[in-house]
Amino acid sequence: MNKLASTMEKKILSHEARIGVIGLGYVGLPLVKTFLHKGFPVTGFDVDRRKVDMLNRGRSYIRHITANELKKFLAAKKFYATSDFGRLKESDVIVICVPTPLDGHGNPDLSFVLNTTATIAGNLRRGQLVVLESTTYPGTTDGAMKPILEAGGLRAGLDFFLAFSPEREDPGNRDYSTSTIPKVVGGLTKDCLRLARALYDEIVVKTVPVSSTRAAEATKLLENIFRSVNIALVNELKIIFDRMGIDIWEVIRGASSKPFGFMPFYPGPGLGGHCIPIDPFYLTWKAKEFDYNTRFIELAGEINTRMPYYVVDRTIAGLNERGKAIKGANVLVLGIAYKKDIDDPRESPSLKIISLLRERGARVSYNDPYIAKSAGHREYPGLDLNSVPLTAARLKRADAVVIATDHSVYDYKWIVKHAPLVIDTRNAVRAKRKNVVKA
């Protein structure tokens, strides 16, 4: 281990290293909280000044990060947020937690990562450790980031240190948090790996070292491709079994009784969140560079992205059976978070469902107890809506109520009692009801 690495390791182990986290969203802010709870001083960086101002006033915009926690760390002068990226020089460790979306053609959009890397390069100093957590294709850390960071003359692995450790956040999961989920770590060199491992050893239950940054990048893709493919399988089976008059949920319950060789996955209205709908296509895109078409992955993506259309078709069919056209129908969508009991609408299938219903002439409103306003979505710029109160009168006025997100706070018996037609995409209503259509 060289002298710079040895000095940094001592700062990490003594918790004297100042941590800089770039990107204060659903990944970055929980990471900030974890570092703070372990006693590290932390600076949060974000281009969104509204977020920065809220955090510095002790206000949180994510449900599982409390205002009291923020105020405690602010009072202790352990944390502050800033949009001044010149202050990156003050950080010993820089962790990147920025979005990696797809562009309008379904290709990886690394602009956030690369622009952030260029900003870091302009403020890079000797001895710093830079870690990318944003999900990406293999080769991003060593092939795309490294040349940018080295452009000023400092050498990765000698003058500064570079690693990749994929985020594993699961919003709303009460059993696992940032600190209790094992962390995969890959370094550019042995010193890079040793420092990154030392860093995460201080804040998470277990680190899992792999041989390279590319292996760590591929690990994250495998995790999410595994889920995407299996969800696509049960989504397709749901459609097939529905035509056969078989309840897919009953079938899954039966299959789950097998104590080996089976893992249950559940169908839904489509994929949501920032990982599963997007990450598989990073590998699909990269594979073309190696003259390989990932047909299995692409087929899974095609099935999953078609599910909102299936929900809308089932809604139209349900209305037709009751002598009502979709055009002019009042449709109430319950839940626009991408999964239950969270306040995160990123890539939510509910947004696509609402968009498709509106295209077909329906008058659509939504209720979500955790998301008061729906706005600012990249793919749905015109989808600016406010959550409406959920009342018996509103349910009775609706021609169809679509259960898109099965929040635990919803009283489904009460909803079914008052709504003339319920389209249930999550098996929220277990008992058979004449006014409930599974979708």
Assigned domain for 224 exists: no
Query: Are 314 and 433 in a shared domain?
Result: yes
Paired strand residues for 161: 129
Query: Are 84 and 187 in a shared domain?
Result: yes
Let me know if 411 is exposed, middle or buried by CB neighbors in 10 A (0-12, 13-18, 19+): exposed
Query: Are 250 and 202 in a shared domain?
Result: no
* pLDDT tens-digit profile, the chain (439 residues): 899 999 999 999 999 999 999 999 989 999 999 999 999 999 999 999 999 999 999 998 887 788 888 888 888 889 999 999 999 999 999 999 999 998 888 899 999 999 999 999 999 999 999 999 999 999 999 999 999 999 999 999 999 999 999 999 887 778 888 999 999 999 999 999 999 999 999 999 999 999 999 999 999 999 999 999 999 999 999 999 999 999 999 999 999 999 999 999 999 999 888 788 888 999 999 999 999 999 999 999 999 999 999 999 999 999 999 999 999 999 999 999 999 999 989 889 999 999 999 999 999 999 999 999 988 777 787 788 999 999 999 999 999 999 999 999 999 999 999 999 999 999 999 988 999 999 9
Query: Are 274 and 407 in a shared domain?
Result: yes
Count of beta carbons in the 10 Å neighbourhood of residue 26: 21
Q: What's the confidence (pLDDT) of residue 171?
A: 77
Query: Are 197 and 246 in a shared domain?
Result: no
Q: What's the confidence (pLDDT) of residue 361?
A: 97
| Domain closes at, from 211, 243, 269 | 211
Across the chain, how many H-helices and E-strands are there? 14, 15
Q: Tokens for 114? A: 């690369």
What DSSP state is assigned to residue 18? P
The residue with tokens 């598989």 is 280
Q: Is the dihedral of CA 30, 35, 38, 41 positive or negative?
A: negative
Contact of 8 with 92, CB cutoff 8 Å: yes
Assigned domain for 225 exists: no
The residue with tokens 């997100």 is 405
What DSSP state is assigned to residue 141? I
Query: Are 40 and 172 in a shared domain?
Result: yes
Calculate the alpha carbon distances from 162 to 87, 99, 114, 150, 398 in Å.
Answer: 19, 19, 14, 11, 55
Which positions are catalytic? Answer: 275
Q: What's the confidence (pLDDT) of residue 62?
A: 85
CATH of the domain at 182: 3.40.50.720
79: left (phi over 0), alpha (psi -120 to 50) or beta: beta
Assigned domain for 228 exists: no
Count of beta carbons in the 10 Å neighbourhood of residue 62: 17
In degrees and rounded to multiples of 5, residue 403 shows phi and psi of -85, 100
Determine the Cα–Cα distance for residues 395 and 409; give it in Å rounded to an integer.
16
**CB-facing half-sphere around the CA of 98: CA atoms within 13 A:** 20
Determine the Cα–Cα distance for residues 264 and 219; give it in Å rounded to an integer.
21
Query: Are 48 and 174 in a shared domain?
Result: yes
Assigned domain for 42 exists: yes
Q: Which DSSP string do the residues of 208-230 spell out, in sequence order? A: EE-S-HHHHHHHHHHHHHHHHHH
Determine the Cα–Cα distance for residues 188 and 203; give it in Å rounded to an integer.
21
Domain that holds residue 169: 3-211
Query: Are 295 and 409 in a shared domain?
Result: yes
Structural domains counted in the chain: 2
What DSSP state is assigned to residue 160? B
The residue with tokens 């909102």 is 308
Determine the Cα–Cα distance for residues 388 and 421; give it in Å rounded to an integer.
18
Alpha-carbon dihedral of residues 342, 345, 350, 352, nearest 10 degrees? Answer: -160
Q: What's the confidence (pLDDT) of residue 176?
A: 87
What DSSP state is assigned to residue 388? P
| Domain closes at, from 211, 245, 278 | 211
Query: Are 110 and 164 in a shared domain?
Result: yes
Determine the Cα–Cα distance for residues 421 and 401; give it in Å rounded to an integer.
6
Query: Are 357 and 394 in a shared domain?
Result: yes
Query: Are 55 and 194 in a shared domain?
Result: yes
Assigned domain for 204 exists: yes
CA nearest to 242, candidates 300, 310, 304, 301: 310
Assigned domain for 412 exists: yes
Q: Are strands 373-374 and 385-386 parallel, antiparallel or unpaired?
A: antiparallel
Q: 90-111 burial by CB neighbour count: b if 16+ within 10 A, else e?
A: ebbbbbbbbbbbbeeeeebbbe
Assigned domain for 219 exists: no
The residues, any chain, with a CB within 8 Å of residue 326's CB and separated by 6 or more, are 315, 316, 319, 357, 360, 361, 362
Contact of 217 with 136, CB cutoff 8 Å: yes
Query: Are 55 and 92 in a shared domain?
Result: yes
Estimate to the nearest angstrom the gap between the alpha carbon of 90 and the chain centroid. Answer: 29
The residues, any chain, with a CB within 8 Å of residue 376's CB and separated by 6 or more, are none
Q: What's the confidence (pLDDT) of residue 262?
A: 96
pTM value is 0.92
8: left (phi over 0), alpha (psi -120 to 50) or beta: alpha
